[in-house]
Amino acid sequence: MKLLASSRRLPVLHEQAVVSLRDLSARVGSNPLLVQASNGNTSIKLDGILWLKASGKWLARALHDDMFVPLELAAVRDSIQNPTGLVPGRVQDSDLRPSIETPMHAILRHRVVIHVHSINTIAWAIRLDGPAQLKQRLDPLHWQWIPYAASGIPLARAIETAVALAPDTDVLILGNHGLVVCGADCDSAEKLLFEVERRLVIAPRPFPKPDTAVLGTLARSSSWQFPDVDSLHSLATDEVSLRILKGGVLYPCQATFLGHTMPLLPLTVLASKMPDPFNGKVNSPPFAAVERSGVMLNKKMTTAERATLLGLAQITQRTEASAKLRYLQRDEVANVLNADAHGYKNSPALAG
């Protein structure tokens, strides 16, 4: 794949369009119901060049950081047909790296593409009856449901097949993943994004308050602290959320940032007065859920892990108790965590 000069050398004719993309990206990235940490990406196509958010960058920082990678659109599209897939590269004189979602942005014909990990959308996208539930809510928009496919080439090919049958498609619900909306320009794409959000909004379920007396056992350890956001406790105090999380991994970022198993502590462990149940383990989890009592955070938790955990809590609070869910299969989770998957290093910094 041929990489062009850094976005710092932006052609004058394209400057205003990319400025609009930056403004849009910052607005979208600053909304935690749409984007958490470095997930999500935006792009614009200008005279055969695909300008795309770089891997690991936070959309919320779009007005402050250099984060858009220029790629030759034709070369990217050709590489999608190549059995070996994309070969990640870097922009000249820059550490910027193309997003793993580059093929998806390239395959869509629209000028502007927005991909977000919308909390409301994911709450529908993890349901087995998701397509049926969304039909009434999204019709008559030009939308399609894309069953889960691994990011990169597999997802791009699935989208290419679906869109070939319905060229007017400008809304994609990605099973166990998120939302994609497209438009002729940044304004129309953003307007469509919020129209979809309006149609898919779900009120979060109330949850019982945490048992601070029980959590105090963990708090006595220097490794753990109380969350600064009460909604995180719902992961352990809300029976529905707790049951959902015990079932497995719901979407890729959950596995990437929080691990493939939920660190759940039964009350019997804390009753043993063990100061830190994870003491001595090489990699302590970023959080610990104490069954029916609440959640504690590892003091070494990263901002990306915290943002992802907040998103997970919001999703489970919006998932009906009666909903039958589709969890990622074991091989799908392994693919997400594989250091060599899609040619990208397994690092939270490279997500998105």
Helices of type H across the chain? 12-29, 73-80, 102-107, 119-125, 130-138, 153-165, 186-200, 212-219, 234-237, 239-246, 252-258, 267-271, 303-317, 330-337
Give the residue, 195 or 2, on which the prediction is more confident: 195
In a shared domain, residues 319 and 223: yes
Number of domains composing the chain: 2
- Residue 335, pLDDT above cutoff 80: yes
pLDDT bracket for residue 188 (50, 70, 90): very high
The pTM assigned to this predicted structure is 0.91
In a shared domain, residues 219 and 184: no
Structural domain includes residue 1 = no
In a shared domain, residues 91 and 52: yes
Structural domain includes residue 258 = yes
273 exposure class (CB count in 10 Å sphere: 0-12, 13-18, 19+): exposed
In a shared domain, residues 59 and 173: yes
CA distances from 337 to 85, 100, 154, 288, 347 (A): 18, 14, 16, 21, 9
In a shared domain, residues 155 and 291: no
In a shared domain, residues 14 and 109: yes
In a shared domain, residues 188 and 292: no
Asked whether 103 and 153 are in contact (CB, 8 A), the reply is: yes
In a shared domain, residues 99 and 243: no
In a shared domain, residues 236 and 129: no
Structural domain includes residue 348 = no
Domain-ending residue, one of 143, 166, 200: 200
Domain-ending residue, one of 161, 177, 200: 200
Mean predicted confidence (pLDDT) in 323-330:
98
Domain that holds residue 324: 212-337
Over residues 72-123, the pLDDT tens digits come to: 999 999 888 876 655 445 555 568 888 999 999 999 999 999 999 999 999 9
Give the CATH number of the domain where residue 143 resides: 3.40.225.10
In a shared domain, residues 122 and 236: no
pLDDT bracket for residue 267 (50, 70, 90): confident
In a shared domain, residues 177 and 224: no
In a shared domain, residues 32 and 169: yes
Structural domain includes residue 108 = yes
